[in-house]
């Protein structure tokens, strides 16, 4: 399985999915709870935490999909 067309596509798809999920959560938060004013340091820490979670989830999904695809390729009869 070459990384560039397959793995990069998986990574881009999973990153876009996580971005969409967090944007949807942010929009719902804004509509339900409204805007909250916080200090710049607090905003930076929250943003760092959200980025860490989104990147970790996208990375784990990509790795799992790559391993599953490699295992399916090796298990397929030749």
Structural contact between residues 7 and 66, judged by C-beta atoms closer than 8 angstroms: yes
* Residue among 75, 68, 72, 25 nearest 50 (CA): 25
**What phi, psi does 26 have (nearest 5°)?**
-65, -40
Tell me the pTM.
0.78
Alpha carbon 7 to chain centroid, angstroms: 14
Which ranges in the chain belong to alpha helices (H)?
Answer: 8-33, 40-75
Q: Mean pLDDT, the chain, as a whole number?
A: 91
Share above pLDDT 70 across residues of the chain, in percent, rounded to a whole number: 97
Q: How many domains does the chain have?
A: 1
Domain that holds residue 14: 3-75
């Amino acid at each position: 399985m070459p990384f560039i067309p397959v793995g990069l596509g998986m990574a881009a798809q999973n990153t876009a999915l996580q971005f969409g999920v967090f944007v949807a959560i942010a929009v719902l938060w804004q509509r339900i709870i409204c805007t909250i004013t916080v200090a710049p340091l607090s905003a930076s820490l929250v943003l760092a935490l959200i980025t860490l979670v989104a990147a970790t989830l996208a990375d784990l999904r990509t790795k799992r999909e790559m391993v599953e695809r490699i295992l399916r390729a090796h298990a397929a009869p030749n």
